[in-house]
Amino acid sequence: MPSGWRGILGFHYGIVQAPLGPDISGPELVAAVANAGAIGLLRLPDWPAPDHVRELIRKTRSLTSKPFGAAIVLAFPHEENLRVVLEEKLAVLQVYWGDFPNHRVQEAHRAGVKVLHQVGSLEEAAKAKEAGVDGIIVQGREAGGHVIGQEGLFPLLPRVVDLVSDSSIPVIAAGGIVDGRGYVAALALGAQGVCLGTRFVATEESFAHPIYKQKLIEMSHTDYTNIFGRARWPDAPQRVLETPFYDEWKNNFPDQETEEDQPIIGHSIIHGVHKDIRRFAGTVPNATATGDIDIMAMYSGQGVGLITEIIPAAQVVKSLVAEAKEVIREKLSGYQ
């Protein structure tokens, strides 16, 4: 196989590091992924912070000479941050949780920026195709963090592949994938790449709190819930680790209550801003978080049980490719 096996969008590999909020995928992680030949995505603030966004981009560029991208959640104010992404001419813009029509895609293209739209349904994929995006990330319900769709990855993925089969748009699979076996399974269903979140949280370079990383190694069960962050981001369910705190409260937190009614359990510096963290806030603990870390939200995909150690991000990329090649060679070569 050629050295640039399964490369997409001009990158060496068809591997995308998911944007990890609120600032878990910072410059160190993104640069490490980029240096390994994959697509690293900065998670930008959910509020207007153009100067900070430019600082993030330039810090990342100080750590890598390779291309990388940034991600914006369309449900939050994003115009000023988007402007900086286009001015800085990043390689990739990933958008999620909202519409990004053709005129916005064309605006990005004029700046030399390729657009990835993450979707959770066939209807969203059709809109992204119509908008002329450069790639579609199909997120299944197995994914960690905020999950917009209700379908499992493997039933949805081939339908999106069929939808775009008359175009050159690559489809990227996301949700529960952590190793080469999942990579090959996605390829078999027509994907040209994979997007991983939880596996990249559990890396040396991620900005997640050490306790959060350790939980990803120790625990293997997740649940799909809406008890976290109801006020800040309503109607945005999430997949989280089944920590003891979550198990205690998952059926006991009244539907009408939100984190605004809850006590402050800790503090954090998020994208340079000091923040109070209330109980049931949808803010996962980053490396600056203090307080009762164990009861903070901890997003995780269903593949977490396959994660057994904290490793460098580059090793994640290399292992994915090596394992995928081995699966194809050793497990599937006889099926001809």
pLDDT at 7: 83
168 and 30 within one domain: yes
273 and 187 within one domain: no
What are 139-176's pLDDT values in tens digits?
A: 999 999 999 899 999 999 999 999 999 999 999 999 99
pLDDT at 335: 60
236 and 112 within one domain: no
What is the C-alpha separation between 204 and 311, in angstroms, rounded?
A: 6
194 and 132 within one domain: yes
236 and 126 within one domain: no
* pLDDT score of 1 more than 50: no
Is 98 inside any structural domain? yes
154 and 222 within one domain: no
Domain of 278? 210-304
Long-range contacts formed by 182-187: CB under 8 A, 24+ apart: 182/303, 183/15, 183/320, 183/321, 183/323, 183/324, 184/324, 184/327, 184/328, 184/332, 185/154, 186/153, 186/157, 187/6, 187/324
219 and 71 within one domain: no
What are 119-147's pLDDT values in tens digits?
A: 999 999 999 999 999 999 999 999 999 99
Domain count, the chain: 2
Q: Reply yes or no: is the peptide bond before residue 22 cis, omega within 30 of 0.
A: yes
pLDDT at 4: 46
Q: Domain of 128: which CATH number?
A: 3.20.20.70
* pLDDT score of 5 more than 50: yes
146 and 230 within one domain: no
Rg of the chain on CA atoms, in Å: 19
276 and 255 within one domain: yes
Is 326 inside any structural domain? yes
Is 8 inside any structural domain? no
What are 89-101's pLDDT values in tens digits?
A: 999 999 999 999 9
Is 5 inside any structural domain? no
118 and 23 within one domain: yes
* pLDDT score of 259 more than 50: yes
168 and 70 within one domain: yes
157 and 196 within one domain: yes
